[in-house]
Structures are given as C-alpha cells and as structure tokens.
Amino acid sequence: MFVRTEMSKRLQSLQQHLKNENPILSEVVISFSVLDKVSRRLGFFSRQESHATRMPWWPLISILGIYSAGKSAFINYYLGRNLQATGNQAVDDKFTVICFTNEDAVRVLPGLALDADPRFPLYNISQAIEEVAEGDGDHVDAYLQLKTCPSEKLRGRILIDSPGFDADAQRTSTLRITDHIVDISDLILVFFDARHPESGSMPDTLQHLVRSSINRRDSNKFLYILNQIDNTAREDNPEEVFAAWQRALAQYGLTAGCCYAVYNPEVAVPIENAGVRVRMENKRNADMEAIQQRIEQVGVERAYRIVGMLEHTARMIEQKMVPRLQRFIEAWRSKVLWLDSIISGILLLVFLVATIWAGYWDGMALKMPLWEYIKQSQSLQTLFFTVLAGLAVYVHFTVRRRVANWVGRRLLKEVNDPDEHPNYMSAFQRNSNWQRSIFFKQPAGWHKRSQKDLAEVLEDTNAYIQKLNDRYTNPSGLAALKSDGLTAGQPDADSLPEDKPLKVVAKE
C-alpha cells in the first residue's frame, strides 16, 4: 500500500497554490516529481527530498547592502507602508522575508516558518547554517523572520530584506545565507550609501557580493543602487558623486551593469537650489521607474527560470551526476578486482612457499597430512571448502568496504557543493554495498525506464516554454477573437490550445 510522505503532501499543496498563480508552473511541479523518482532510484534522494524544494516558486526580489544605505526606507516607500524599522544604525539583524497576506494586520512570524516550508525561500536553511556554525542550526529564529503585509505590490512576489553588512559575530553564517539568497533570487537590489560612495567604505561582505556577481551567468539580475543621493544636493555635485561611486565599483571589477541613483522624497533633505532639485528629481524619477519596471517583470522571468531549472536539473542528472557515479563506480570496481587478485596471488604464493619448505610436495603431487586426512571424509571436505569460501568472501567484502571508503572520499573532493555531499555518498554507497554485484557496470537505478523519464521531461520543457510564449507573446500580431475570451498577445491560461497535451505522468 502506498503511503504518502510529508514531501508528497507538500508538493501537492504547492501544485494547488500554483494553479491559481500560474497553471503552467503547476504542471512543472509534476515534472519535478518525475525527476525526484529518477533520483530516488539512483539513491541520490530519500523520500523526504525533492528537486522542487531547491528553489522558491514565487518571484523573489532581494534587497542587500550596508546597514546605512536606506534599504528599509526603500521597502517602506515601495510598499506604501511603514513596515520596516529605519535608522542610521543597524536596526534589524535578521533576514526578513516579506510576503502578501489578505489580512489587514502585519504579522511577524519566526524563522521556523521559513525553514520548514518548501514554498518559501530559505527552506531548510538551518542545515546550511549548521555547516558553518555548529549548533546554530537549531537557532534559526536568530537569523530569519517572516513578515506578512497586505500591500498589493507584494501580490504574487516575495521580498527579502537583509541585515546590514558589517562585522558581527554571525558574519560567516550571514555570508552563507546571503550566497544562498543570491543563487535563488530573480532580482537583486544592491544598495550603497551616497554619503560614503568611495571604495574604502565598502565592507568585506559587500566586496564579496560585488566580486562574485561579475562572472555569473545571471549577472543581469543585479541592480546597483546609490541611495540617498539627496544628501549631495548642497554640494551641487550629484553627478560627480555618482561617477565616483562607479569608479569605486570598477576597482572591484564591476565595469558594466545597471547602476541607478535614487532617494526617498518622503525623508529627503530639502533641496533649495531649484536647478539642482530639478536635475535630481528627473534622475530619481527615471531610475525609480526603471527599477519598478524590473520588479514588475520578475514574475515572467521567474516562470521561464523555473522551466530552465527543470531542464538544467534533468540534464545535470543525465550528463553530470550519472557519468560521475559511473566513473567512480568503475574506479571502485577495478581497484577491488585488482586487490582481490593481488591478495589471492600473495596467499597462493605463501601457501606454495610454506608447503615446499615443509617438504609436502612429491614432484607435482601435494602430500600434505592434513589434506590426506580431510580427503577421508566427505563432511570434512564440505567443512573445509565452506571455511575456505567464507574466508575468501570475508576478504573480498573487507576489500570492497575499504576501497569504497577511499573512493568515496575522492568523490566528495570532486563535488564542489557541500550540500550535495550526502546525496552523492548515498548514491555511491547504494552501488558499493554488499547486496550489489561488483560486475554491474551501470549505476543502480539507471535503466531504460529512468532514461525514458528524463527524455520525456526534456521534451516537456519545450512544451512549457511554448505555453509561456503563447501566454506572454504574440509574434503574428493578430488580435484574438473576443469570443475566445482572449486578448492580443496574452491568452488566458485556461484557454490555451491543447492540441499537443503534455506527456508528463506522475509515475510510481
């Protein structure tokens, strides 16, 4: 009888939620569940793990920067609510995930609400914290909190406000969480303080963030924002401050990218010079409009990114994970057979030398008293060969185990992501345990069914992209018929043509 696991319940809940937000992505969840089954057959996943939980499913916008850069003031202005505490000093030392609620009141929930729910970013982040700060994984509430807000700007998207980057006792854990957030975000707003635009004021953590963003494939998701530019109005040199800031970024290798200068008009210093005020207002309005347009676009980008992650995961299993397992299984297999041969040869040589030295050979015939005695009884012969076989089996499996430990350590050195170490070790141990024949060359679970499942998922990713294109584009330029309930270039998700149904089936 099939028993639903906690993970299967969570994925079903995620699918139900996505049906209201984006029906196409609810189908993608099913494809991820197919990849989960392939990974479980390979021993890479347990029943409580899923590829679908390794990313947030709602568009994610992260606000990063130093503690005095006005991140919280920007969030309050954007949401139209006094949600985050503001100040010239660090006022909040936690990562705050902000999401929409239908309630009128704002609620603050503990970090456990994020760590235990796969629908949100930072799911299972306590494990990553534990790796860099032993014992702190149980104190996830000291690092995270969840806030709900009824602002319509949050409908269908999630914001993350980071603590200010400066030296503190939790810097290593903060950096680990920051790296995770950078990986899963669709848009990252990196705030700098216009009062200190020079490179010397940039803390180490922010330097790390700028440097690490330069060579990323998704570097276009970073927006660099010089905030509180109104503080330069009295010197009548906002353009010079902006240029100095860009030169400071260039010292860390950032010579291209989206750079903006803004300020919050609700808390801005008075700008008495009319000419300067007009220049700054025009710059601010243009840059704020560009930033908000990018924010509004993340929902579309997220849908394509998730489908891209589905394809990337399927190809990673087929082209990276399985070949790597095959290579290390073959290395383990060849070394075990080689050592078995050497040990057998050594034991045979010792036996020959000992019997020759004892004078038990008569020409080519062995005349050993013990063997002559054993030959007189069938039961003694059976016992003798049973003990001999048992010793051979013991030696063989001892060799298997020790070689597996050695090869496993080499495997972990090759896997750069420490989060994947347990998964690779689990898959490798499944192929090197005593139940698995050493003569099987293919990894356990890698057979025609798994290969067919991956091929179908890859085929379905093309269908998902086509559906998204049908939803967001209209290359022909033709207006849809009103009787179909569609608008030009943006068909309703429930009215999409279904002449090519997806082949995805949730298999067991």
The predicted-structure confidence for 1-32, as pLDDT tens digits, reads as follows 344 677 888 888 888 878 877 788 889 999 99
Instruction: Please state which of the ranges 155-159, 217-221, 258-262, 439-443 shows the lowest mean pLDDT.
Output: 217-221
| 504 part of a folded domain | no
- pLDDT reading at 407 higher than 70: yes
Retrieve residue 423's tokens.
Answer: 């998964």
**DSSP label of 320:** I
How far is residue 180's CA from residue 183's CA, in Å, rounded to a whole number?
Answer: 5
| 97 part of a folded domain | yes
Report helix, strand or coil for 490.
Answer: strand
Question: Which of 74-88, 192-206, 377-391 is modeled with the greatest confidence?
Answer: 377-391
Instruction: Please state which of the ranges 125-134, 346-355, 368-377, 482-491 shows the lowest mean pLDDT.
Output: 482-491
Asked if residue 360 and residue 252 are part of one domain, the reply reads no
Asked if residue 233 and residue 377 are part of one domain, the reply reads no
What residue numbers bound the domain in which 354 lies? 322-432
Cβ-based neighbours of 11, under 8 Å, separated by 6 or more: 29, 32, 33, 50, 52, 118
How many domains, in total, are found in the chain?
A: 2
How far is residue 341's CA from residue 32's CA, in Å, rounded to a whole number?
Answer: 44
Identify the pLDDT of residue 400.
93
Identify the pLDDT of residue 496.
33
| 153 part of a folded domain | yes
| 417 part of a folded domain | yes
Identify the pLDDT of residue 255.
60
Instruction: Please state which of the ranges 22-26, 214-218, 272-276 shows the lowest mean pLDDT.
Output: 214-218
Mean of the pLDDT values across residues 197-218?
Answer: 63
| 444 part of a folded domain | no
pTM of structure? 0.69
Asked if residue 340 and residue 233 are part of one domain, the reply reads no
Q: Match 């409580």 to its residue by tokens.
A: 48
Write down the H helix ranges in 42-81.
Answer: 71-79
Retrieve residue 468's tokens.
Answer: 């998204």
Asked if residue 117 and residue 221 are part of one domain, the reply reads yes
Question: Which of 252-261, 338-347, 417-426 is modeled with the greatest confidence?
Answer: 338-347
Q: CA neighbours within 13 Å on the CB side: how many for 160? A: 31
Asked if residue 261 and residue 168 are part of one domain, the reply reads yes
How far is residue 302's CA from residue 299's CA, in Å, rounded to a whole number?
Answer: 5
Asked if residue 78 and residue 183 are part of one domain, the reply reads yes
> Between 416 and 124, whose confidence is greater?
416
Q: Beta 107-110 vs 144-149: how paired, if at all?
A: antiparallel
**pLDDT tens per residue across span 310-345:** 999 999 999 999 999 999 999 999 999 999 999 999
Torsion angle in degrees (nearest 10) through CA of 280, 286, 287, 293: 160
pLDDT-based confidence at 221, cuts 50/70/90?
confident
Asked if residue 195 and residue 69 are part of one domain, the reply reads yes
Identify the pLDDT of residue 56.
73
Cβ-based neighbours of 238, under 8 Å, separated by 6 or more: 229, 232, 261, 276, 279, 280, 283
Give the full edge-to-edge strand order of the sheet including 158-161.
Answer: 107-110, 144-149, 95-100, 158-161, 60-65, 187-193, 222-227, 258-261
Domain boundary among 432, 464, 480: 432
Asked if residue 207 and residue 119 are part of one domain, the reply reads yes
Identify the pLDDT of residue 492.
39
Instruction: Please state which of the ranges 333-342, 355-364, 399-408, 471-480 shows the lowest mean pLDDT.
Output: 471-480
Write down the H helix ranges in 317-420.
Answer: 322-358, 369-374, 378-414
- pLDDT reading at 379 higher than 80: yes
Q: CA neighbours within 13 Å on the CB side: how many for 102? A: 0
Write down the H helix ranges in 194-270.
Answer: 204-214, 238-250
Question: Which of 54-63, 84-93, 480-489 is modeled with the greatest confidence?
Answer: 54-63
Among residues 171, 458, 187, 477, which one has the least CA distance to residue 305?
187
Identify the pLDDT of residue 485.
37
Cβ-based neighbours of 293, under 8 Å, separated by 6 or more: none
How far is residue 183's CA from residue 216's CA, in Å, rounded to a whole number?
Answer: 10
Question: Which of 35-39, 45-49, 152-156, 408-412 is modeled with the greatest confidence?
Answer: 35-39
Mean of the pLDDT values across residues 375-386?
Answer: 83
How far is residue 442's CA from residue 323's CA, in Å, rounded to a whole number?
Answer: 10
Across the chain, what does the average pLDDT equal? 79
How far is residue 496's CA from residue 368's CA, in Å, rounded to a whole number?
Answer: 86
Percent of the chain residues topping a pLDDT of 70: 79
Instruction: Please state which of the ranges 30-34, 225-229, 272-276, 429-433 shows the lowest mean pLDDT.
Output: 272-276
Identify the pLDDT of residue 324.
94
How far is residue 66's CA from residue 284's CA, in Å, rounded to a whole number?
Answer: 20
Length reported for the chain:
508
- pLDDT reading at 505 higher than 60: no
pLDDT-based confidence at 507, cuts 50/70/90?
very low
Domain boundary among 432, 456, 479: 432
Asked if residue 230 and residue 102 are part of one domain, the reply reads yes
- For residue 90, the domain's CATH number is 3.40.50.300
Q: Which amino acid is at 213?
A: S
Instruction: Please state which of the ranges 119-128, 250-259, 487-496 shows the lowest mean pLDDT.
Output: 487-496
How far is residue 78's CA from residue 153's CA, in Å, rounded to a whole number?
Answer: 8
Mean of the pLDDT values across residues 335-364?
Answer: 87
Mean of the pLDDT values across residues 432-440?
Answer: 89
Retrieve residue 491's tokens.
Answer: 């068909």
| 366 part of a folded domain | yes
Identify the pLDDT of residue 479.
55
Question: Which of 145-149, 454-458, 489-493 is modeled with the greatest confidence?
Answer: 454-458
Identify the pLDDT of residue 201.
46
Asked if residue 331 and residue 226 are part of one domain, the reply reads no
Residues 267, 233 contacting (CB under 8 angstroms): no
| 369 part of a folded domain | yes
> Between 427 and 156, whose confidence is greater?
427
| 254 part of a folded domain | yes
Mean of the pLDDT values across residues 219-242?
Answer: 78
Asked if residue 384 and residue 251 are part of one domain, the reply reads no
Asked if residue 239 and residue 125 are part of one domain, the reply reads yes
Beta strands in 234-308, from DSSP E residues, in sequence order:
258-261
Percent of the chain residues topping a pLDDT of 90: 24
Identify the pLDDT of residue 283.
87
Q: Match 């559906």 to its residue by tokens.
A: 467
> Between 300 and 42, whose confidence is greater?
42
Residues 101, 107 contacting (CB under 8 angstroms): yes
Identify the pLDDT of residue 23.
85
> Between 230 and 236, whose confidence is greater?
230
Domain boundary among 270, 304, 338: 270
With vertex at residue 331, the alpha carbon angle to CA 327 and CA 332, rounded to the nearest 5 degrees, is 120
With vertex at residue 356, the alpha carbon angle to CA 353 and CA 357, rounded to the nearest 5 degrees, is 80
**pLDDT tens per residue across span 155-207:** 878 898 887 665 454 566 677 777 778 888 889 998 888 776 554 445 555 66
Mean of the pLDDT values across residues 351-369?
Answer: 80
Mean of the pLDDT values across residues 217-227?
Answer: 84
Residue 227's alpha-carbon distances to 70, 239, 279, 280, in angstroms, are 7, 13, 16, 12
**pLDDT tens per residue across span 56-66:** 777 889 998 87
Identify the pLDDT of residue 118.
64
**pLDDT tens per residue across span 461-476:** 999 999 989 888 766 6
